[in-house]
Every structure is written in C-alpha cells, then in structure tokens.
Amino acid sequence: MPTTQVTMQTVAGRERLGVVTALMALARSTGGAAGAALFGAVAFAMMPAAGHGRSVTSAFHAGFLVFAAVAAAAAFAASRIPPLTLWDRAG
C-alpha cells in the first residue's frame, strides 16, 4: 500500500498532497469495512443450521472461496489497465 500512496501523492503534486492522502485513507478504511461486512454476510449466510451435519468451518471455506474469486476478477481487471506515462524524462 505505501507504493500506491506515494505514487498518488507524486502525481497529485504539492498543492493536493493532503487531499490525496486523506482520500487514500478514506478509500482504504471504507474498502476494509465493506470487505469485512461482505465476508461476514457470506460466511454467516452459509452457516448451517443446527442439526444439518455440516461444520461451521465449511461456511468459512465457502466464504474464502467466494472472495478468492472476487480477488482473481479484480487482479484480471487490474492487468487490463493500459500503461500510462506519468512524465517524460528530460535527458
């Protein structure tokens, strides 16, 4: 994460340094909260009722499998972002 933050701060420049830093912090905390809430919702929705013979760990395995698929889709989408030259080196 520090690499992303430094990159965004460099691109934004001095005049927007605070705005970009705050935006990154907000995005990270919002994403973490949303991810934890979604994982909890998926895991607890798949929890078996008492007497069905399945363990609680199977619900967590299913939850991790769902989010592994989401992470794979996000990695694929990120790999499709075209390269961007931020600045030309004068030399």
pTM of the model: 0.63
Residue 63's nearest CA partner among 45, 50, 80, 78 is 45
Residue 79 has pLDDT above 90, yes or no: yes
Q: Taking a C-beta distance cutoff of 8 angstroms, is the pair 12, 86 a contact? A: no
Residues above pLDDT 90, as percent of the chain: 34
Residue 31's nearest CA partner among 70, 83, 62 is 70
Residue 7's nearest CA partner among 20, 19, 23, 18 is 20
Q: Taking a C-beta distance cutoff of 8 angstroms, is the pair 24, 5 a contact? A: yes
pLDDT tens figures, 12-35: 888 888 999 999 999 999 999 998
Look up residue 47 and give its DSSP letter: P
